[in-house]
Structure 1
Amino acid sequence: MNHQTIESGRKNGSLDCGSPIRKIHDPSGTQTISADRNRKFHSPFTVAPDSRHPIFIIFIIFIVVIIFVCVFFILACIILVILILFRLFIIVLFIDFFIVLIVIFVILIPCIFQLVFVCFLVIIYFFIILIIVFFIPIGIFVWRVCKLLLLVSVVILIPIVFIPNIFIIIVIVIFLVFFIFIIEIQCYSNLSAQYRNGPKNRDKMPDQRPSLLR
């Protein structure tokens, strides 16, 4: 390293007086980079990840939505248990219905984007296969490549499509169980109240449970 390189490094603040100097050459060998031995050297050829990248933003939004749904579902279960303990059944029915709507919409919004992305992938694969079939002479190798592309697309798309839908089905089933449980408790509480008011007519009391629960 010559005297001009050291002086320019001192002017730019990258070198300290009396600090040992080492030479670092780039792969092409056309540029000499000076660095302090006691400092971390960041190569100009490495690119730092950009936090404003669309994929990074979409990933953060997806994580936030999952956290929001989980927290909201836990709070909803706690509220439902408290209301059931205090026997506020009408309020429970309204809140349960409201929670079902919100959770379904919160989960369906990411699924809409997901289905659009899946359709986009399917269209891309379809056009790739069409181009291969119509513009390239078909042989055994090309046909095997087409089948491999189809297999890869199916293996990739099945988890993307079905995993969130399974989550939606589980959430809906849980809330339906809450509905049935609440209606069942309400019907039995009404029956027990009527039995207490008229103990002589217990055998004549009709079954007031919903038809699905009889």
Structure 2
Amino acid sequence: MDSSAEEHQVQREQEIARTRILETAARLIGEAGFARLKIGMICARTGYPSGVVYQLFGSKETLVQRLVEFAAEKFADVFSAAVATRTGGLTPSPMDMLRALLDIFFELLTDMPPLNRAFVVLWTDATVGDPAVRSAMTEADRRYRFAIAQTVAAGLADGSITGVRDPDAYAAALVGQLRGIAVASIIDPGGIDLRAVRAEMEYAVDRLA
């Protein structure tokens, strides 16, 4: 094996390790929160020594920042797929994108993969937890709100959306609603009728058109 092939193999193994460590950290955070997460817990579940975790991430704080980015990347992928499904691959309208956002949000909430559960738990941890968690979640929220606000602004510009006076405020309100629904579904899963909640949210979005 030549040096370039060896380097490629090392990079591939490191990427596999990063993904496995991030997915394991997500499960652990979803079970117990960030404050109780220990590098040793990740090592016990993955079989990687602590040196590998520190080599790839540097610290627990860097790990959670990368986890938030990882979750955002995965959400972007499934959101793009939801938009394509709703539009048949055609150029989406602003309303298509808002409706697809609700599609994927409620689908993920119903299934609640470990990565998404961890993201919701980190939302709550950010209010009182480690500054690294707050910083990571603040940045993620800002990007999330910005994307929604841009979508709404585009709809206002082309006339496909009406009834919104401030796209930024609307985005903040929508994210707040979705966050609250996600947290409530974890705290009281038997007490939240997600179908009914989804129908109300879809009705509210449809009224923008």
Note whether the superposition's TM-score is higher than 0.5. no
> Larger Cα Rg: Structure 1 or Structure 2?
1
Higher strand share: 1
Taking CA–CA contacts closer than 8 Å with sequence separation of 6 or more, which of the two structures ends up with the larger relative contact order?
2
Higher helix share: 2
TM-score when scaled to structure 1? 0.30
